[in-house]
Amino acid sequence: MQSGSYIDGKWFQPKSERVVKNINPADTKDVIAEFPMATAADTERAIDAARQAFAGWKKTPGPERGRVLWRAADIARQRVDEIARLMTREEGKIFREARGEVMKGISLMEYYAGAGFRMGGKTFPSEVRDTFTYTIRQPVGVVGLISPWNFPWAIPVWKSAPALVAGNAVVFKPASLTPATAAVLAEIYEEAGLPPGVFNLVIGSGSEVGEVMVSSPHIPIISFTGSNEIGRALHIKAASRGAKVTCEMGGKNAVIVMADADLEKAAVAIRDGAFGSTGQRCTATSRVIAAEPVKAELVERLAAFAKGIKVGSGLDESVDMGPAVDESQFNTNLEYIEMAKSEGAKLVTGGGKPEGLPDGYFVEPTIFDDVKPEMRIFQEEVFGPVLSVATANNLEEALEVANSVEFGLTTSIFTQDINHVMKFIDEVETGMVHINEPTIGGEAQLPFGGVKSTGVGDREMSEEGLHFFTELKTVFINYSGESGRAMIR
């Protein structure tokens, strides 16, 4: 594995005083690698390299661009376990989840590889005689991709694959916490035959590398996934210079459990949504809104599940849940737990650091009951294994409580009643909805993203995710052969 940045087709070690120490959050004595941080000047060089490479890549036929992604998918498939193990060491999620994430990235590469054959526009009838009107989709230029640590492989793939197949050149800045998985992606693109400069990986801080990207007049598109705090400021800055921006940000996703729900199915889905990936998914379940008659039994089942979760290093196959990603997230989780207690929520299970795991940032799977919708634990994103349960008397009330937060990524309902299902789909304020399944998950061919404070700009993945990285050109061809005829449109 490389431990530098990759600019203009070359790996190099930035000459920088600052180094990212890439630490295993399950065992802080395990240092995976040290990455020297790239500087503002390195970032400018990456942007220049991308600008140079763009001209040639734009002219490369779409199917040929797609074939590079196809080869990348093949190479990744041969390295699945190795990439997954590295991701587990670097990010902390358990090996099974890491493997699933690698496979999802491969699906995305395959999906967008095929898109190389479909980079078409539409034809339309013109109002004017002997005139052919149609659209074409063209790449935009150099795109800036900035990603978080929680899906260190899938998110970089779901941003870079559509950007590349559309014919753009890429400058990519991964989260400082997960540079190693990002480096593997660059290695794979290189081996797959991407020409030098088309994909540039710049490992460095958000405040230096990220800022240069966001302010650069040579980057007309920025695609960001991360926190609201960073995303909102970035959006304003990039938009103020006329860039096109998409930001996918926080979530506070709810599961509504109606009185007629299959409680076992609901409890399993909530467990997987709340504690899977240590609650560090943007689509994680952090709220349950349960009908009064079934709430007590549901909480009992959830508590039993939570107590049964084995916490530890994700490299141990018997472990169900890994650590928080770093000390800061660990402290955030504990602070929110204390806050929930002081707000008057009832701690059902968990609430602290598990015993016997001194060297990692582990937090127990935690459940609060009797949570009121106005409490901060119910309103704010924790990004850890902390679940809040509230009550609702009917669907209208459940929807009101579900919609009371500023975020809008995903919601799920458990019910057998088709009228409830349809009303829920109509009224719930999230970009994705699930019926009788967990809040988590996405597929390459399906639009992914949220509304309200969660998302700005186009959906990612799917055709929408591809279109974001293109500009439409509308073409008018007059073949009347006549001159001097006035044309009014």
Q: Which residues are catalytic?
A: 248, 282
Instruction: Output the smallest distance, CB 1 to ligand NAP, in A.
Output: 19
Q: Is 73 among the residues that bind ligand NAP (CB under 6 A)?
A: no
Q: What number of CA atoms fall less than 13 Å from residue 213's CA on the CB side?
A: 36
Print the binding letters for residues 306-345 with ligand NAP: x by CB under 6 A, - otherwise.
Answer: ----------------------------------------
Q: At 179, is the secondary structure helix, strand, or coil? A: helix
Instruction: Output the smallest distance, CB 242 to ligand NAP, in A.
Output: 17
Q: At 412, is the secondary structure helix, strand, or coil? A: strand
Task: Give how far Cα 448 sits from Cα of 127, 283, 403, 410, 414, Å.
Answer: 37, 10, 19, 10, 21
Q: Is 144 among the residues that bind ligand NAP (CB under 6 A)?
A: no
Q: Is 411 among the residues that bind ligand NAP (CB under 6 A)?
A: no
Q: What six digits make up the tokens of 211?
A: 């800022």
Q: Is 110 among the residues that bind ligand NAP (CB under 6 A)?
A: no
Q: Is 115 among the residues that bind ligand NAP (CB under 6 A)?
A: no
- Do the beta carbons of residue 385 and residue 274 sit within 8 Å? yes
Report 273-302 residues binding ligand NAP (CB under 6 A): 282
Q: Is 419 among the residues that bind ligand NAP (CB under 6 A)?
A: no
Task: Give how far Cα 339 sits from Cα of 361, 376, 378, 386, Å.
Answer: 19, 8, 11, 12
Residue placing its CB nearer to ligand NAP in the complex, 210 or 457: 210
Question: Which of 159, 173, 252, 353 touches ligand NAP (CB under 6 A)?
Answer: 173
Q: Is 385 among the residues that bind ligand NAP (CB under 6 A)?
A: no
Instruction: Output the smallest distance, CB 204 to ligand NAP, in A.
Output: 7
Residue range at the interface with ligand NAP (CB under 6 A); choices 81-89, 179-187, 222-230, 356-364:
222-230
27 vs 47: CA distance, rounded Å: 36
Question: Which of 250, 279, 322, 457 touches ligand NAP (CB under 6 A)?
Answer: 250
Print the binding letters for residues 177-216 with ligand NAP: x by CB under 6 A, - otherwise.
Answer: x---------------------------xxx--xx--x--
Distance between terminal CA atoms of the chain?
59
Closest CA to 440 of 305, 275, 308: 275
Residue placing its CB nearer to ligand NAP in the complex, 23 or 291: 23
162 vs 462: CA distance, rounded Å: 9
Q: Is 383 among the residues that bind ligand NAP (CB under 6 A)?
A: yes
Residue range at the interface with ligand NAP (CB under 6 A); choices 145-153, 184-192, 285-293, 371-379:
145-153
Helix (H) or strand (E) holding 423: helix 418-427
DSSP string for 261-323: S-HHHHHHHHHHHHHGGGG-STT-EEEEEEEHHHHHHHHHHHHHHHHHPPBS-TTSTT-SB--
Instruction: Output the smallest distance, CB 193 to ligand NAP, in A.
Output: 27
285 vs 385: CA distance, rounded Å: 9
Instruction: Output the smallest distance, CB 138 to ligand NAP, in A.
Output: 26
87 vs 155: CA distance, rounded Å: 13
Contact residues for 13 (Cβ-Cβ < 8 A; gap 6+):
3, 4, 36
Q: What number of CA atoms fall less than 13 Å from residue 102's CA on the CB side?
A: 28
Q: At 332, is the secondary structure helix, strand, or coil? A: helix
- Do the beta carbons of residue 213 and residue 145 sit within 8 Å? no
CA angle 231, 235, 237 (to 5 degrees): 120
Question: Which of 3, 147, 410, 439 touches ligand NAP (CB under 6 A)?
Answer: 147
Instruction: Output the smallest distance, CB 153 to ligand NAP, in A.
Output: 12
Residue range at the interface with ligand NAP (CB under 6 A); choices 135-143, 147-155, 158-166, 372-380:
147-155
Residue placing its CB nearer to ligand NAP in the complex, 230 or 261: 230
Q: Is 384 among the residues that bind ligand NAP (CB under 6 A)?
A: no
Q: Is 108 among the residues that bind ligand NAP (CB under 6 A)?
A: no
Instruction: Output the smallest distance, CB 93 to ligand NAP, in A.
Output: 13
DSSP string for 120-152: ---EEE-SSTTEEEEEEEEE-SEEEEE--SSST
Residue range at the interface with ligand NAP (CB under 6 A); choices 2-10, 49-57, 249-257, 296-304:
249-257
Report 431-450 residues binding ligand NAP (CB under 6 A): 450
Which residues of this chain interact with ligand NAP, rule CB under 6 A?
A: 146-151, 173, 175-177, 205-207, 210-211, 214, 225-227, 230, 234, 248-251, 282, 381, 383, 409, 450, 454
